[in-house]
């Protein structure tokens, strides 16, 4: 808890007040809400399956006022507890071939809105890990269809639609390459992004060296440059062999307990990412265009 509190305090010292708390299941972490309560000027998104969200827990989160559960589509029990507590919440959806037709539909959006969801956050499935399924990755055509659907539905959908893949002009970008976000692993390593589970620098027990790592890490800086020079999409999906060679050359350490990530990366085959190139589809909703131009721009990462 001391390290977690230090991470938040370090980020706040640099003007960063937005935190996504991932898992596993973050609500299994004892004392998590106690730490969050110490930072009322920050906003926390909890990526959760919601099975542990009881009416009492939902009411506490509502009282704190700085937490939004981001619930996977399986978490209907916890979703209803959030609704009954009048807690603002969203829904996360990782889109792959097998759920594309069901989740990329207006009917799905209408059903979520009827359940009280304020927003949906669409992700593209990344086939990583010991039991990856590249055959379930989206095709290039499905990526285009997903982008078309998001742009079209943002015009009049009954809830907010969020993605972190495309800017206002429809051009792809990688949050890791821009440097606008970092991921801290459960073992305290500062990572480029959540699915890329290798790193060089590790936090101290108090989390007080986070700013120093983010500012001075040559590994992270070079990885940002490599990514930006390779694709505007996802280097993990589009050039895994190039990424594996870089990680091996830099002596990066695996941050999982499997100790097989680099071998998994070497075996990965290329699958389509979200870079649509000349087929980019620009945002149509004026409000989204303003928000994306203001908050989701390239930070100079792509030249």
Span 230-279, pLDDT tens digits: 999 999 999 999 999 999 999 999 998 888 999 999 999 999 999 999 99
Domains contained in the chain, CATH given: 2-174+275-295 (3.20.20.70), 181-267 (no CATH)
- Report the range of poorest mean pLDDT among 108-117, 183-192, 287-296: 287-296
Question: Which pTM was predicted?
Answer: 0.92
CB of 71 closer than 8 Å to CB of 44: no
Q: Work out the mean pLDDT of the chain and round it to a whole number.
A: 93
> pLDDT of 215-229, one tens digit each?
999 999 999 999 999
The proportion of the chain whose per-residue pLDDT surpasses 90, expressed as a percent, equals 83
């Amino acid at each position: 808890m001391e390290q977690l509190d230090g991470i938040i305090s370090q980020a706040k010292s640099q003007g960063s007040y937005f935190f996504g708390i991932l898992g596993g299941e973050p609500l299994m972490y004892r004392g998590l809400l106690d730490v969050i309560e110490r930072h009322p000027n920050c906003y926390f998104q909890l990526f959760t399956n919601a099975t542990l969200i009881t009416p009492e827990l939902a009411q506490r989160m509502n009282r704190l006022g700085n937490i939004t559960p981001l619930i996977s589509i399986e978490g209907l029990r916890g979703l209803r507890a959030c609704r009954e507590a009048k807690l603002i919440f969203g829904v996360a959806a990782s889109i792959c071939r097998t759920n594309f037709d069901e989740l990329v539909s207006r009917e799905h959006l209408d059903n979520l809105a009827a359940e009280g969801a304020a927003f949906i956050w669409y992700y593209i499935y990344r086939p990583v890990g010991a039991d990856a399924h590249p055959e379930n990755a989206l095709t290039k055509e499905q990526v285009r269809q997903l982008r078309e659907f998001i742009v079209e539905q943002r015009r009049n959908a009954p809830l907010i639609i969020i993605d972190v893949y495309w800017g206002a002009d429809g051009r792809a970008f990688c949050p890791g390459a821009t440097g606008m976000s970092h991921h801290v692993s459960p073992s305290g390593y500062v990572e480029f992004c959540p699915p890329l589970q290798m790193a060089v620098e590790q936090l101290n027990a108090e989390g007080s060296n986070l700013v120093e790592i983010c500012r001075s890490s040559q590994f992270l800086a070079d990885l940002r440059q490599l990514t930006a020079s390779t694709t505007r999409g996802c280097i993990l999906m589009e050039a895994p062999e190039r990424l594996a060679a870089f990680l091996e050359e830099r002596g990066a350490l695996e941050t999982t307990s499997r100790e097989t990530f680099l071998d998994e990366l070497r075996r990965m085959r290329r699958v389509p990412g979200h870079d649509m190139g000349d087929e980019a589809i620009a945002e149509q909703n004026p409000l989204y265009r303003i928000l994306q131009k203001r908050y989701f721009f390239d930070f100079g990462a792509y030249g």
